[in-house]
Amino acid sequence: MKLKMVLTHKSLFVLFLMTSALLVLSRLLVLRSNGRPLSFDLSILPNSKLLAMAENEHHNKSPLISASKGEKKETKNDISRKSDSNRQVLKVFMYDLPSEFHFSLLGWKRKRKSVWPNIRAGVPEYPGGLNLQHSIEYWLTLDLLNSEFADNLGCRSAIRVHNSSQADVVFVPFFSSISYNRYSKLKPGQKSINNFLQQKLVQFLTEQEEWKRYGGKDHIIVAHHPNSLLGARTKLWPAMFILADFGRYPSTVANVEKDVIAPYRHMIRSYVNDSSGFDSRPTLLYFQGAIYRKDGGMIRQELFYMLQNEKDVHFSFGSAQKNGVDEASQGMHSSKFCLNIAGDTPSSNRLFDAIASHCVPVVISDEIELPYEDVLNYSEFCVFVRTSDALKENFLLNLIKNISREEWTRMWKRLKEVERFFEFRYPSQDQDAVQMIWQAFLRKVPAVKREIHKSRRFTRTTLPAEGLMSFHVPNFFRNS
């Protein structure tokens, strides 16, 4: 009897152990099927440090558990990490062009064989005055150089890569605007440095394997000043240009399909801590600048004659000379609406001065193209008027006077929200003008790929003199 009881107890104990083991095993299998990692001592395995880093990285992606309250708590770093993981970054190959094409044009003197300045030690300054409004290539080049050592890459939209086969686009660091501004006006018997650099640039680019690969279609060239690259633009037109507008370009050379419109760098002071309102801006409509222009800008003088004597309207000649910038800053900061009228070309720096002043822009320029308009709705903070309507007697003033306080206030608040998109800074900040321009090219990349792919449809059947043409697609496009 005792022996039978002992066997029964032993059988029950064994059954209990087997059941417990099965429960533990099933629990482990469930955890594994849910994608949750098994926790164990990583130090006993080879490459334990790397494995521990991977384990920590996995845990950092999950909400943290508060030790004191035992509740889940998501920190700012976790939120930032999540947003950064979703951010697409443009990979940019930048040519190491000789410094004569970029920073030497600013007066920087290179040391030894260095192509680039040591921007950790100091950044060469861009010339002031009106030169600054077209300084786009300067800010983009600095941003790419900075991407190689900056600690915080979280807000970055582009990084420099040194293998062109890994790049989305190829950037050409030629400071074309300052080259035109400083070296296009010649003294008797003087040769044009600007023309010389353009000729040298065309020769350099067309000899590069990166250019030959796709005929330059994936290249980015900055020509923001409307007169920059006059001698080279028709030879480099397959590239993507960064422009102020399309006013002086035939559509076969530059168009909205392939190119990017970038904002001017505003000249007037930003309105920091703007607490103004509808009643504290006494001037209804403000314009100060060059009045007598050619081409589409002739409307300026017609509007001047119509509005110069109107009450609460400031319409006068002005320039950046002497105290012109300070006067314009004060005038725009104290005005409800600011006129942006076409000049010699459809665009004007005045639009971006108005945005920085939180003075609601009134845009009269039928052919204007605007930066990032594929993602930004300008009608939320601008008033657009057709040229033919603006020239009608009393049309413009009646339109503006009928905009209510509430509607103006809504646009004024929106201006304060979007102004960061038009600020050029170094180091660049999240969603500033530099990052917005890179993002615009990021949105262009699929179309560029498509054009390149289409152009290569029949390359296998093209018969050069020596036989069938070989067909090679780099890794970057194979993965598209």
Q: Which residues contact 237 (CB under 8 A, 6 or more apart)?
A: 252, 253, 254
Residue 350 lies in a domain: yes
117 in Cβ contact with 103 (< 8 Å): yes
Tens digits of residue pLDDT in 217-232:
999 999 999 999 999 9
Confidence of residue 462 (pLDDT cuts 50, 70, 90): low
Task: Say whether both 259 and 110 belong to one domain.
Answer: yes
Residue 21: the pLDDT is 60
Confidence of residue 237 (pLDDT cuts 50, 70, 90): very high
215 and 362 belong to one structural domain: no
Give the per-residue pLDDT at 190. Answer: 81
Residue 178 near residue 131, CB atoms below 8 Å: yes
Q: Are 253 and 309 members of one domain?
A: no
Is there a domain that residue 277 lies in?
A: no
Q: Quick one: pLDDT band at residue 296, thresholds 50, 70, 90? A: low
Token pair of 395 as six digits: 């049309």
Per-residue buried b or exposed e for 374-407, using 16+ beta carbons within 10 Å of the residue's own CB? eeeebeebbbebebeebeeeeebbeebeeeeeee
Can you tell me the mean pLDDT for 157-165? 96
- pLDDT per position as a tens digit, 15-34: 555 666 655 555 544 444 44
Cis check: omega of the bond before 371, within 30 degrees of 0 = no
Range of the domain at 344: 283-422
Verify that 104 and 219 share a domain, yes or no: yes
The mean per-residue pLDDT over the stretch 281-294 comes to 89
Report the CATH number that the domain containing residue 375 is assigned in CATH: 3.40.50.2000
| Same-domain status, 188 and 309 | no
- Check whether 5 has a pLDDT greater than 90: no
Three-class SS state of 384: strand
Query: Does one domain contain both 236 and 107?
Result: yes
Among residues 407, 422, 437, the one where a domain terminates is 422
The pairing of strands 335-341 and 158-161 is unpaired
Residue 336 predicted with pLDDT over 70: yes
93 and 226 assigned to the same domain? yes
- 166 and 248 part of one domain: yes
Cα-based torsion angle of the residue sequence 104, 105, 108, 112 in order, rounded to the nearest 10 degrees: 10
Report yes or no on 43 lying in a domain: no
Interval 132-146: pLDDT, tens: 999 999 999 999 999
Residue 210 near residue 163, CB atoms below 8 Å: no
* Residues 313 and 446 grouped into a single domain: no
Q: Is the pLDDT of residue 3 over 50?
A: no
- Going by pLDDT thresholds of 50, 70 and 90, the confidence category of residue 72 is very low
Res. 6: pLDDT tops 60 = no
Mean pLDDT lowest among 38-52, 191-205, 255-269: 38-52
pLDDT confidence of 60, banded at 50, 70, 90? very low
Dihedral, CA atoms, 305, 311, 313, 315, nearest 10 degrees?
Answer: 40
pLDDT at 460: 72
Note whether 236 and 312 are same-domain residues.
no
Give yes or no: residues 179 and 316 share one domain: no
What's residue 176's pLDDT?
A: 98
Q: What is the pLDDT of residue 70?
A: 37
pLDDT confidence of residue 318: 72
The total of structural domains in the chain comes to: 2
List of residues 6+ apart from 81 with CB closer than 8 A: 60, 61
User: Quick one: residue 380, left, alpha or beta (phi over 0 = left, psi -120 to 50 = alpha)?
Assistant: alpha
324 and 431 fall within a common domain: no
Residue 200 counted as domain residue: yes
Is residue 149 a part of any domain in this protein?
yes
Q: Which range among 107-111, 198-202, 461-465 shows the weakest confidence by mean pLDDT?
A: 461-465
Residue 313 pLDDT:
96
C-alpha separations of 110 from 40, 102, 116, 117 in Å: 55, 11, 7, 7
Given a cut of 90, is residue 101 above it in pLDDT?
Answer: yes
- pLDDT exceeds 60 at position 35: no
Here the tokens at position 172 are 């050409």
Alpha-carbon gap, residue 119 to 131, rounded angstroms: 21
Residue 54 within a domain: no
Which range of 102-116, 184-198, 420-434 scores highest in mean pLDDT? It is 420-434
Tell me the pLDDT of the chain averaged across its residues: 82
Instruction: Tell me the C-alpha to C-alpha distance, in Å, between residue 173 and each of 75, 239, 337, 448.
Output: 40, 13, 37, 20
Q: Would the pLDDT of 196 be above 80? A: yes
Give pLDDT, residue 15: 58
Q: Give CA–CA dist 285/298, Å, rounded.
A: 19
For residue 160, is it within any domain?
Answer: yes
Residue 78 belongs to some domain of the structure: no
Query: Higher model confidence: residue 409 or residue 451?
Result: 409
Half-sphere exposure of 51 (CA within 13 A, CB side): 12
> pLDDT grade, residue 153 (50/70/90)?
low
CA atoms of 320 and 204, how far apart (whole Å): 37
358-375 confidence digits (pLDDT tens): 999 999 999 999 999 999
Q: State residue 152's pLDDT score.
A: 63
Q: What is the tens place of the pLDDT at every residue in 254-270?
A: 999 999 999 999 999 99
For residue 37, what pLDDT is reported?
37
At 389-441, the pLDDT tens digits run 999 999 999 999 999 999 999 999 999 999 999 999 999 999 999 999 999 99
At 80 the pLDDT is: 36
| pLDDT higher than 50, residue 194 | yes
Boundary-marking domain end, from 387, 405, 422: 422
Please say if the pLDDT value at position 95 is more than 50. yes
Residue 188 backbone phi and psi in degrees, to 5:
-55, 130
